[in-house]
Structure 1
Amino acid sequence: MDALSNLYEHLALGLSVAATAQNLLYGFIGCLLGTLIGVLPGIGPVATIAMLLPATYALPPVAALIMLAGIYYGAQYGGSTTAILVNLPGEASSVVTVIDGYQMARRGRAGAALAAAALGSFFAGSVATLVLAAFAAPLTEVALRFGPAEYFALMVLGLIGAVVLASGSLLKAIAMVLLGLLLGLVGTDVNSGLPRFTFDIPELSDGIGFIVIAMGAFGYAEIIANLSIHADQREVFTARVTRLWPTREDWRHLVPAILRGTGIGTVLGILPGGGALLASFAAYTAEKKTRLQPGEVPFGEGNIRGVAAPESANNAGAQTSFIPLLTLGIPPNAVMALMVGAMTIHNIQPGPNVMTGNPELFWGLIASMWLGNLMLVVLNLPMIGLWIRLLAVPYRWLYPAIVLFCAMGVYTTNNNTFDVWMVALFGFIGYGFHKLGAEPAPLLLGFILGPMMEEYLRRALLLSRGDWSVFVTRPISAGLLITAAALLLVVVVPAVQARRAQAF
C-alpha cells in the first residue's frame, strides 16, 4: 500500500509539473515537430532530435526535456503515416508497418490502418508510461548502491548489448563502438590538462561536440543517402481518407494484437541497442506465428494486426527506453544518448540522483509522456489531410531547407563556423558508413559513454589504489562483466550468428 500511495503522490507531482501552460505548450510543439519531420521518409527520431536540439538550449531544463521527449515519440508516431500512405517507412521501426499498412490503403482502408496505428500507439504508450513510473523508484534505489566499479561494468555491459543487438555485421558494430570511444577521447584531459588527439587545432581543445557528430552522422548523412536514391520517385496515396474508426470485426483482431505488441515493446524497449526497432520486428513476427482466424486477410495483403502490433510495440519501446536512462544514467540507444547530451547541456547529471535531487524534472517528464501520447492522437487523426499534402512536396524543396536549418542550429550553439564545417564532414563520413552498411548508432553510444567510462574507471582505481582486481572482487561489478563476456561469446557461436542475421 505504501508503494502504491508513493506512486500516486509521484504521478500527482509529475502531472502538476507537466500540466502547466508552459510545459503543455512545449510538449505540444515537440509532438508536432516530431510528427512533422517523422512523416518525411528517411528522417527518423535520431536525425529529428539532432536537428532540433539547438532549439531547446534557451528553454528551462524541464521544458527542454519534455519537448525533446515529444519530438522522440512524435517522430516514432509520424513514421507510421508515411509507411501506410507512401509505402516507405518514415523511420526504421516502421519498416514492418509498410508490409500490411500500404496494402490496406490500396484496398481503400487507409483510414482504418491509420486509426489502428494511432490507437495502438496511444494504448501502448500509456501502459509503458505506467511501467516506467512503477519501476523507476526500485531501480533508482538499486542504482544508488552502485560505486564507480559497478557503473563502469554496467556501461561495458551496455556497450556490448548495443553491439549484439545492433543490426548488420557484428564486426562493423564493434568497430563503430571503438571509433565512438576514440572520438570521445579528443580534447583536453581533465586530470593532466594535456591535449589529446587535437592535432594543434584550438577548436578541438574542448573536444568534438556530440551535436556535431549526431547531426552530421544522422541528419546530413540521411539527407545525402535519400537524395542519392532519387526519393522523389515515390507513389503517394492521394485518395480521400474516409471511415477512420475500425469496424467491429477489426476490433476483434485489433485488441489482442495491441496487447501482445504492448507487452513485447515494453520488455524489449529496455534492452540496449534494440529499443523500438527490435520491438516492432519481434511483434510482427509474433503476429505472423499466431493462427489466422476464419475470413481474416493474410499477412502481407492488408491484415490490420500487421499494423497494430508493430506500432504498439515501437511506441511502448520508445517509452520504456527511458527506464535505464532515468534510473541508471545509461542510454540504451542512440536517441537516449542524445537525451544524455541534452541533460548535460542543462547541467543535469543523468542517473539515480535525478529522482532524489530533482523530482519535479523526473516525474514531470514521466507524466508528460502520457499527455504527449494523448496529444499525438488528437494531432494525427484529424490532420491526415495535411500530412498527405506534405508528403506530396518534392524532396528537392524540402532538403535544402532542412540543411540550412541544421547549419543555423549548429552555428548558434557556439557561434563558431568550425562546427558547421565539422557537421558537413561528419555528414559525408556518415554517408560512407551508410554505403558500407555500418550502423552509426553504436558510434554515438560509444562517444557518449566513453568519457563517462573513463571517469568511473579512474575513480574506481583511485579508490582501490590502483588495484585492478576491484572490478572482479565486488560481486555486482563481477556479475555485470561476466554477463557482458558471456553475451559476446554466445553471439560468436555460428548457430546464434545465423539466428541473429535471420532476425535482422
Structure 2
Amino acid sequence: MADFFLQALGQVGSPMVLALITIGVLFGIIGGCIPGFTVTMAILVVFPFTFAMDPVSGVSLMVGVFVGGYSGGLVSGIMLGIPGTPSSITTVYDGYPMAQKGEPGRALGIGVAASFIGTLISVAVLVFFGPLIASYSMKFRPWEITSLIVFALTLVAGLSNGAMLKGLLAAALGLLITTVGYDRNSNLRFDFDLPVLGSGFEILPVMIGIFAFSQLMGNLEKLRDDKSEIKDVNTNVAIPYRQILVDMSRQKINTLRSSLIGSLVGALPGTGGTVANFISYDQAKKMSRHPEKFGTGTPDGIVASEASNSAVAGGAFVPTLALGIPGDLPMAIMMGVLILHGITPGPLMFEQNPVLVGAIYASLLIGAVVMVLCQLLLVRWFAKISLIPQQVLVPVVLMLCAVGAFALNNNLFDVWVLFIFGILGYLLWKAEVPLTPLILGVVLGDNMERQLFRALELDSSWLTFLTRPLSALFLALAVVSLLFSLYQNRKIRLHALETKGE
C-alpha cells in the first residue's frame, strides 16, 4: 500500500496537478460562499473540464472542488447569516451571532480550523475502512450487488424529508431513464424512432439538467418572492490566530466526535453534509456543560458544524470507491468522472487502479492544506463574492452548464437533453419531489441492470436473491428502511396535527 501511495503522491505532487487542486479548492470555496449555489452546483460546473484530462488530474480537480465547497459555506453563513450551502446551516446558529458581537475573524478562523481537522480525520477513516470494505465486498456476486443497489435506493428514498412515496417514484424514474437505448442483448428500447436515442442519454447533461437547471430556476423564483434588501457587510476581517489556537485547544473532544459523526454519516447513502450537520450540532449541545450558550455565539457550535460537514468528504468516498454506491449527489458526480475515464468504482478498483485510489487520498490531504491557506489569506475577498446577485449568477452558470454539456460529444442534442431534463427537474422540484433519488437512480441504473441480467443468466430463479444470505440481508434492510420511514412519517404527521390542534 505504501508503494502505490508514494507513487500516487508523486503524480499528485506535480506542479500541474497541484495547480488543478488549488483551482478546484478556490472554485469550491467560491461556490460554497454564494448562497444558493451549493457544492453540487460547483462540481457540476467543473465536471466538463475533466474530459480532456487524465484520470489523476481530473479526479484531483474534482476533489479540490469537493473539499473547498464543504468549507466555503461558512463564509456567507458567518458574515451574512445566510448559509452558503445546506451543509452549513448550523454554522449560522453560532457563527453569525459571534460576528455580530464584533468577532467575525474569530468565527471564521474557528470554522476553517475545524474544517481542516475534520477533513484530515475523514481521510484517516477512508484510508483505514475503504480497503477493508473493498476486500470484504470482493465476495459479492451479482445477486448481492443488485440487492445492495436496491437497498441504497430505498434508503435514499426513505430519507427524503418525509416524502417516501415521492422518493421511491423518483428513484424508479431514474432507473427508467437508464433503460432508453440498447440493452445487453442489443434490443432497442424507448427510442421513439429517434436515432439519437439509440445510445441512450449521457449522464452529464441529465444530471446537470435535473439538478443544476432546476436549482437555478428555483433560486430565481425565491429571489422574486424575497423582497429583503442586501445586507451591508464589513469585509475587513482580521483573523486572531492566537485566540483561535486557544479556542481549538479546548475543543479536542468536540472536534473528534463531530469529525467521526461526519465521516460515518457521509458513508451512508443519501445522507450527506446537512444530516451530519444537525446530528453533530445536536450531540455537541447535549454533551456540553453549558448548552444554554448554543445559539449565542459559542465556539462549540461552530466546531461541531464545520468539523462534521467537512468530514463528510472522506466518509462519502468509502461506499463510492469500495462498493460503487455513491453516498450523495457530489459523490454521484465524482463517480461519473471515473466512469467517463473508463474506471468502474467498486471493490476491484483497489486492485486494478491502486495509484488512482492513492491519488484520491493524497488530493484530499493536499486539498485540506490548500483550503486552510486560501480561506485564511483570501477571506475578505470571499466575503465580497458572497454578495454576487442571483440575477448575474444564474445566466452565467446556465451558459457554463450548456457549454459543458455540448463539450461532452460536440453534440447539440446533449444541450437539448439538458434543457428538457431541466424542465422536468424544475417541475418535480415544484411538486416537492426529492431529486437525489432520481439522480442516484440514473447513476446506478446501468450497473443494476447489468448485475440483474448477469444474476438471471447464472440462475433463472428469482428465489436465489432470497436464498443467498448477503443478498437476503440487503433486501431485508431495504424493507426495514422503508418501514422505519413510514413510522417516522406517521410520527411527523401526528406531531403536526397535535401542534395544529393546540
TM-score of the pair, normalised by structure 2: 0.93
Counterpart check, 1:435 vs 2:430: yes
| Deviation of the 1:457 alpha carbon | 0.6
Which ranges in structure 1 are unaligned for 5 or more consecutive residues? Answer: 1-5
Share of identical aligned residues, percent? 33
Contact 1:168 1:438 (8 Å CA) reproduced: no
**Matches of 1:251 and 1:330 in 2, distance apart?**
35
Confirm or deny that 1:215 pairs with 2:211.
no
Alpha-carbon offset, residue 369 of structure 1: 0.5
Shift of 1:495: 7.6
Classify 1:65/1:243 alpha carbon distance in 2 versus 1 (closer, same or farther; 3 Å). closer
SS of residue in 2 equivalent to 1:108: coil
Deviations 1:35-94 (A, max 9, x none): 122211111122221121111100001110111111112111111112111222211111
Tell me which residue corresponds to 2:499: none
Q: Relative to structure 1, is the Cα distance of residues 168 and 432 closer, same or farther in structure 2, using a 3 angstrom cutoff?
A: farther
The answer to whether the 8 Å contact 2:109/2:239 transfers is: no
Q: 1:138-287, aligned counterparts within 5 Å?
A: 138-191=132-185, 193-230=186-223, 233-245=229-241, 246=243, 250-251=247-248, 253-287=250-284
Match of 2:463 in 1: 469
Partner amino acid, structure 2, of 1:203:
V
Counterpart residue type for residue 35 of structure 2: P
Match for residue 89 of structure 1 among 61, 83, 100: 83
Rounded to whole Å, the distance in 1 between the matches of 2:69 and 2:148 is 29
Q: CA deviation at 1:319?
A: 1.4
> Is 2:331 the counterpart of 1:336?
yes
Q: Provide the rounded CA distance (Å) in 2 between the counterparts of 1:42 and 1:166.
A: 19
The Cα shift of 1:499 comes to 10
The one-letter code of the counterpart of 2:136 is: V
Q: Which amino acid aligns with 1:343?
A: L
Check conservation: 1:116, 1:254, Cα contact below 8 A.
Answer: no
Q: Which deviates further from its counterpart, 388-397 or 248-257?
A: 248-257
What letter corresponds to residue 439 of structure 2 in structure 1?
Answer: L
Q: What does 1:57-136 align with in structure 2 at a 5 Å threshold?
A: 57-136=51-130
Contact 1:54–1:410 at 8 Å: present in 2 too?
Answer: yes
Maintained 8 Å contact 2:235/2:381:
no
Distance change >3 Å, CA 215–CA 305, structure 1 → 2: same
Instruction: Indicate conservation of the 8 Å contact 1:334/1:442, yes or no.
Output: no
Residues in 1 aligned to 2:392 and 2:489: alpha-carbon distance in whole angstroms? 48
Q: 1:483 to 1:358 in 2, by over 3 A?
A: same
Are the equivalent residues in 2 in contact too, given 1:84–1:113 (CA < 8 A)?
Answer: yes
User: Per the alignment, do residues 303 and 20 of structure 1 end up closer, same or farther by CA in structure 2, a change over 3 Å counting?
Assistant: same
1:366 offset after TM fit, Å? 1.2
The 2-side partners of 1:334 and 1:110 are apart by 31
Greater alpha carbon shift after TM alignment, 427-436 vs 38-47: 427-436
Counterpart in the other structure of 1:288: 285
Taking structure 1 as reference, are residues 501 and 37 closer, same or farther at Cα in structure 2, changes over 3 Å only?
Answer: farther
Write the distance in 2 (CA, Å) between the matches of 1:318 and 1:501: 34
User: How far, CA to CA, are the matches of 1:108 and 1:129 in structure 2?
Assistant: 34
Classify 1:44/1:236 alpha carbon distance in 2 versus 1 (closer, same or farther; 3 Å): farther
Q: 2:383 aligns with which of 379, 388, 401?
A: 388
Q: Secondary structure at the match of 2:251?
A: helix
- The residue matched to 1:383 in structure 2 has which SS? helix
Report the equivalent of 1:403: 398
| 249 and 370 in structure 1: CA distance in 2 versus 1, 3 angstrom threshold | closer
Q: Compared with structure 1, are the counterparts of its residues 494 and 448 closer, same or farther at alpha carbon in structure 2 (3 Å cutoff)?
A: closer
CA-CA distance at 1:138 after TM superposition = 1.7
Cα–Cα, structure 1 residues 154 and 114, in superposed 2: closer, same or farther, change >3 Å?
same
Q: Partner amino acid for 1:49?
A: I
Distance in 2, Cα, partners of 1:430 & 1:366: 34
> 1:258, CA displacement in angstroms?
1.5
The 3 A distance-change label for structure 1 pair 359 and 499 is: farther
Q: If the length of structure 1 is used for normalisation, what is the TM-score?
A: 0.92
Size of the aligned set, in residue pairs, is: 492
Among residues 2, 23, 26, which one is paired with 2:17 in the alignment? Answer: 23
In structure 2, relative to structure 1, the CA distance for the partners of 1:337 and 1:248 (3 Å cut) is: closer
Aligned residue for 2:473?
Answer: 479
